[in-house]
Structure 1
Amino acid sequence: MFRLSNNLIGILNILTFLLSIPILWAGIWLSKHGASECEKFLDKPVIILGVFLMVVSLAGLIGSCCKVSWLLWVYLLVMFLLIVVLFCFTIFAFVVTNKGAGRVLSDKGYKEYRLGDYSNWLQKRVNSTSNWNKIRSCLADSKVCSSFSSKYLNDTAEKFYSEHLSSVQSGCCKPSNDCGFTYVGPTNWTGSGTTSTNPDCTTWSNDPNVLCYDCQSCKAGLLDQVKTDWKKVAIINIVFLIVLVIVYSIGCCAFRNSRRDNAYGKYP
């Protein structure tokens, strides 16, 4: 009879193989039917993930069920590397997101965001012209500001100032509070000859295709969202790492069993 560890590895890899099928299908679908470049940007990583999971699960399944020691060795090596990569990414994610937060305005329901408050590594990513052009295009494709405008279209100035806006809405879809512009609509503001040194005041435009997409506040608002998302991912990674370590330990037992059985030339 197969040992328990071999059976568990076999079952886990069957589940992983089944999971890889919809992931691979989703990547192929995105590459053919993605509505925008932002959606199509995800197709290659998703396809690679799907193929990776499929190959690794097959190696673990065949290695454990057929007691092929070298396949189990490859499987364990990949698992070990994956654990190391996830561990390093989790630490990195916590380090680069430990700085930065929205600044509370005493008479506003929303916060404002300053690029200099965030980590240098994140700042360099969004200050890269090529990177930001792609991000800007994705923000426009997502219609984050057009939906923002529709949602708050009937707000009076007092009502709008009390709204709790997302970091991207606050940073990209309206001018900075420093500018002192007069509210006309969510994405329509009248300049008042401000003397503010904030460069975003001259960057802002009522043109719905421009708005504050090129403002420092927009980059900061995006980074605040990235910071929140990365922290969530890092917490999920911790749970995933614990699961991987358990699976890796079971795999080591299965590998030991396979080597012992191959050495004796018979099942235990």
Structure 2
Amino acid sequence: MFRLSNNLVGILNFVTFLLSIPIVWAGVWLNHHGASECEKFLTKPVIILGVFLMVVSLAGLIGACCRVSLLLWVYLLAMFLLIVILFCFTIFAFVVTNKGVGEVVSGKGYKEYRLGDYSNWLQKRVNSTKNWNKIKSCLQDSKVCKSLIDDGSNTTADEFYLEHLSAIQSGCCKPSNDCNFTYVSPTNWTPTGNTPYNNSDCNQWSSDPTTLCFNCQSCKAGLLDNIKHDWKKVAIVNIIFLVFLIIVYSIGCCAFRNNREDNAWKGHP
């Protein structure tokens, strides 16, 4: 009689195989129809993930249902490596996102962000000119400041100061509070004089919608704050996924033991 663990492994991997098909298709579609380099940037990771899931699920499906111990062993090895990688990434994500918090500004609804408040590892990633040029291009393509530009003509200074801006909007779409620029509109600020600024971001600011503060340290800090919160959410999801993977891995080990016992039994007259 076919054993329960083999059935469970077979069903789980059949579902995974079906899920891998749209993932691969999405990667191929992005590669041919991506409107920008930012969209195409996701192509390779998505395709690799889809192909990996497809191959591993096929190995598990055939290994469990057809009693092929070698394929089931390959499946278990891949699962073990995936568990180790996810565990390491989860710990790493908590460590590198442990530092950094927005600075509350008196009388303002938004916070301001300083690059030096975040982990050195994250700072090095965004301080790389090559990396930041790609990231900046993606931020500009995403039109993260568009809502401020569209609504800016009717927004008074008092109304703007009470706005709850996102970390990226606060860092990239307006000058730092240290600059003391005169407000014209949310993305249009006038320098008050030629006084040397304590904050180097003040010299980077431009009211040109394509420039704004995308070259500022505050923009990098705003991005890191966004990454910090996203990575923490991903890390929590990873913990749940790890528990699921460990359960599946345990069931797979039972199926592998069943295969070996059945093969040993068949080897006897």
| TM-score, structure 2 normalization | 0.97
Deviation of residue 93 (structure 1)?
0.1
Kindly state the Cα deviation for residue 151 of structure 1 after the two structures are TM-superposed: 3.6
Render the CA deviation track for 1:172-221: whole Å, top value 9, x for unaligned: 00000000001101110010024431000010001111110000000000
Q: Does 1:119 pair with 2:92?
A: no
Question: 1-side partners of 2:125 and 2:151: how far apart?
Answer: 31
Equivalent residue number for residue 216 of structure 1: 217
Query: Counterparts of 1:157-168 in structure 2 under 5 Å?
Result: 157-168=157-168
Paired position in structure 1 for 2:201 = 200
Name the SS of the counterpart of 1:210 in structure 2: coil
**Corresponding residue for residue 9 of structure 1:** 9
Using the TM superposition, give the Cα deviation of residue 152 of structure 1 relative to its aligned residue in structure 2, in angstroms: 4.1
Give a deviation string over 1:49-105, Cα, whole Å, max 9, x none.
Answer: 010000000000000000000100000000000000000000000000000010001
In the other structure, the counterpart of 2:172 is 172
Provide the residue aligned with 2:134 in structure 1.
Answer: 134
**2:243 aligned residue:** 242
Residue identity in the other structure for 1:205:
S
Q: Number of matched residues?
A: 266
Identity of aligned residues (%): 77
Summarize deviations over 1:36-56 as a string: whole Å, max 9, x none: 000000011000101000000
Letter of the aligned partner of 1:237 in structure 2? N
Structure 2: 5+ residue runs without aligned partners? none
Matches within 5 A, 1:74-113: 74-113=74-113
Give yes or no for contact 2:110–2:162 (8 Å, CA) kept in 1. yes
Distance 2:198 2:15 in 1: 58
Cα pair 2:173 2:213 within 8 Å, conserved: yes
Alpha-carbon distance in 1 for matches of 2:151, 2:36: 24
1:53 counterpart = 2:53: yes
Q: CA deviation at 1:106?
A: 1.1
Give secondary structure in 2 for the equivalent of 1:108. Answer: coil
Structure 1 alignment gaps of length 5 or more: none
Question: Using a 3 Å threshold, how does the CA distance of structure 1 residues 238 and 152 change in structure 2: closer, same or farther?
Answer: farther
| SS state at 1:144 partner | coil
Q: What letter matches 1:13 in structure 2?
A: N
> What is the rounded CA distance, in whole Å, between the counterparts of 1:91 and 1:196 in structure 2?
39
**Residue 148 of structure 1, CA deviation:** 2.6
Aligned to 1:44: 44
Could you say what the CA RMSD is over the residues aligned between the two structures, in angstroms? 0.9
SS in 1 for 2:183: strand
Pick closer, same or farther for the CA change 1:153–1:7 going to 2, 3 Å. farther
